[in-house]
Structure 1
């Protein structure tokens, strides 16, 4: 008798390639790999580093904790990313005058030059991925993605309902 367990009926009936979560993850991975190819070739940085530089340039995230929340990664990963960018001369850490405990991140002049090139790379990759989409389809896709984000924000402040209370087996197969 083998110690290897057999897959359950539920897992064998599950169509991974039809899963919204799987598809979203694959699209994100593909997009991020394409951006990294472009940013490495043109700027010598990864997609994540480019994204951090762009966030700082836009004023959206100015401290490491904001970046950790935005990307859903731990503070130590952000610290490593920031260290690499600082070593490359693209950003600096600055103590806040209002609160000496707070360390703000700021782009250097070289970092600003890099930041100005990033939107073109992001746009180029999206143009390739959205080839043969109509403007209406792109608008609809954005609308659906915004709704997903809104749903995640709404449930972030509340306790996620128990899965058995909200999903039947059929619902699970159709939604996930």
Structure 2
């Protein structure tokens, strides 16, 4: 996008045409739909369910990894972990090699909830992507990966996609 084509007056800016606004609205809608399901079925928020899933999958085993993944500060992550620990869904374990490192581990109940998250994620995405062809979904994922690469926040993302066989258009 050429900077000179950016509107300089607020009346010239069409929010509904902003990619950032549209991405934000889709993310908000997706989070709301997931929370509706997780609250009614599991008694937790979408963020809590997502954290449990991230720990269960091995992607985020430290509070600092969760903070980076969610783009939030360490104290906010600590509060979320505190709530999940208080509910008996995860525990903190000191690393025997380095006592400063505290790993996160799910309890049996936390693991059971984490295992219920993928079907919820899939059903919400199926709703949001209703009417999209498989090729359109693949293209959308490819474009989103490129945007993440451009942001510098896609470390390992393209490799994960290729390992999952989603590299039809890895640009």
Q: Is TM (by shorter chain) over 0.5?
A: yes
- Name the count of aligned residue pairs: 149
* 2:35 corresponds to: 36
TM-score, with structure 1 as normaliser: 0.82
Partner of 1:171: none
Q: Could you list the per-position Cα deviations for residues 91-114 of structure 1 after superposition, in whole angstroms to 9, with x for gaps in the alignment?
A: 000000111011111001111111
Gaps of 5+ in 2: 1-6, 156-171
Q: CA deviation at 1:60?
A: 0.5
Q: How does 1:81-160 map to 2 (within 5 A)?
A: 81-153=80-152
The RMSD of aligned alpha carbons is 1.7
Could you tell which deviates more after superposition, 145-154 or 93-102? 145-154
Runs of 4+ in 1 over 6 A off after TM superposition: none
Point out which structure has higher relative CO (alpha carbons under 8 A, 6+ apart).
1
TM-score, length-scaled by structure 2:
0.84
User: In 2, distance between residues paired with 1:124 and 1:86?
Assistant: 28
CA distance in 1, matches of 2:78, 2:139: 37
State how 1:61-100 maps to structure 2 within 5 Å: 61-100=60-99
User: Which one has a bigger Cα radius of gyration?
Assistant: 1
The answer to which of 146-155 and 134-143 deviates more is 146-155
